[in-house]
């Protein structure tokens, strides 16, 4: 090959190499996002999901993709996360979707509904039964893309200023109760109140409310409820597994490079596991401390549980008749739940029942 021809050919190759560098750079652009949450920083377990997202995205991209996290109220109020993400006030949010049932009751099904799926069943429905696609088909109506990012597991039934022995004892009680469950307890005479976590203690202390539920022992101890209401009921039948979600503005999501989409998905998956691991690890000791400090544990009676199930079925039937999105997702979840409970009866429940019965009592 002649020298001139060689240089010309090499020049084409070098030019091609020069073009390739920007193409690689374009796949990892420098982005700065904001992530608002519904949590005060003092509720370190749910807030840790946002911190996980920020940490993963920064470290995996040499700080090219930075996500700044904000507690509830720092940018927008805790119950305004979905609006803020949908209208691009922020790019992302982390919250419990059932807070937004007033926009559409279908939001509750993304999170937790009475007598619904437990946390493992939720993850199975999301990941391997079409749930993720169904959720995002609905969420895009609000300019959102949703990814599961945490679960509390089964929650407690809450703190009451008096003992609740019968269904009649519920009548007239003003109770802070999250999300969609308020529709069910209202049928039994409870007056539901929706308050952010930081507002619950003063409301109990002042007698503005008579009862309150939040999450479980670890968070409840932090918020000090045992000091102002001594009866601690279980289980939280309205939250057999409470899924938290990262919401991303759908246009911002679609504009992300595939590498960044994959990174957010992976970080959310880790947060999804990590949040429940922290609750499962920390709740037992917190429960012991609460009892030592005077909390009186009580189970909801079978009579109350049956009445609540009946009321919940009525709410679901009424809502399904009026809302096609709700019916579609509820039918999928509850059909899945019935098969899952058969499997749990055979394996998980049988094993755990035996282990609980043989647990050392010391």
107 found inside a domain: yes
CATH of the domain at 74: 3.40.190.170
- Model confidence over 216-240: pLDDT tens digits? 999 999 999 999 999 999 999 999 9
Q: How far apart are alpha carbons 147 and 211 in whole angstroms?
A: 32
Identify the bridge partners of residue 248 per DSSP, sorted by sequence position.
92, 145
98 found inside a domain: yes
Cα–Cα distances in angstroms (integers) from residue 124 to residues 46, 130, 204, in the given order: 21, 9, 37
267 found inside a domain: yes
The whole model's pTM is what?
0.90
Domain encompassing residue 78 = 29-153+241-280
- Give the residue among 270, 273, 277 at the shortest CA–CA distance from 52: 270
- Model confidence over 151-197: pLDDT tens digits? 999 999 999 999 999 999 999 999 999 779 999 999 999 999 988 88
Element (H or E) spanning 348, and its range? helix 348-357
Q: How many domains does the chain have?
A: 1
- Model confidence over 260-307: pLDDT tens digits? 999 999 999 999 999 999 999 999 999 999 999 999 999 999 999 999
50 found inside a domain: yes
CA angle 166, 172, 173 (to 5 degrees): 75
- Give the residue among 42, 14, 31, 139 at the shortest CA–CA distance from 85: 139
Task: Indicate if the pLDDT at residue 109 is higher than 80.
Answer: yes
Query: What are the structure tokens assigned to 51, written together?
Result: 């911190």
253 found inside a domain: yes
159 found inside a domain: no
Rg (CA), the chain: 24
184 found inside a domain: no
137 found inside a domain: yes
Average pLDDT over residues 200-225: 96
């Amino acid at each position: 090959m002649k020298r001139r021809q060689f240089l010309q050919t090499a020049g084409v190759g070098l030019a091609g190499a020069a073009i390739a560098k920007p193409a690689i750079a374009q796949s990892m652009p420098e982005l700065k996002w904001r992530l608002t949450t519904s949590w005060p920083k003092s509720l370190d377990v749910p807030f840790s999901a946002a911190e996980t997202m920020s940490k993963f995205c920064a470290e995996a991209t040499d700080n090219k993709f930075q996500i700044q996290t904000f507690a509830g109220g720092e940018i927008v109020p805790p119950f305004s996360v979905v609006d803020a993400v949908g209208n691009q006030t922020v790019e992302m949010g982390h919250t419990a979707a059932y807070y937004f049932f007033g926009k559409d009751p279908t939001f509750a099904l993304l999170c937790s509904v009475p007598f619904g799926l437990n946390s493992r069943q939720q993850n199975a429905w999301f990941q391997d039964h079409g749930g993720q696609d169904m959720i995002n088909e609905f969420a895009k109506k609000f300019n959102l893309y949703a990814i599961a990012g945490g679960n509390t597991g089964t929650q407690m039934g809450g703190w009451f200023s008096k003992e609740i022995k019968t269904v009649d004892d519920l009548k007239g009680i003003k109770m802070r109760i999250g999300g969609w469950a308020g529709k069910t307890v209202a049928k039994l005479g409870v007056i539901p109140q929706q308050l952010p976590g930081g507002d619950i203690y003063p409301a109990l202390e002042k007698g503005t409310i008579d009862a309150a539920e939040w999450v479980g022992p670890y968070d409840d101890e932090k918020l000090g409820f045992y000091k102002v209401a001594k009866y601690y009921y279980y289980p939280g039948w309205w939250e057999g597994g409470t899924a938290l979600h990262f919401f991303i503005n759908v246009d911002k999501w679609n504009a992300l490079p595939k590498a960044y989409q994959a990174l957010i998905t992976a970080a959310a998956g880790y947060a999804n596991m990590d949040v429940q691991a922290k609750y499962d690890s920390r709740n037992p000791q917190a429960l012991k401390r609460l009892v030592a400090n005077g909390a009186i544990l009580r189970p909801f009676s079978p009579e109350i549980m049956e009445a609540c199930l009946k009321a919940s079925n009525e709410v679901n039937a009424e809502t399904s008749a009026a809302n096609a999105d709700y019916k579609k997702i509820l039918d999928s979840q509850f059909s899945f739940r019935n098969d899952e409970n058969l499997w749990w009866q055979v394996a998980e429940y049988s094993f755990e029942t035996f282990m609980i019965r043989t647990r050392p009592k010391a």
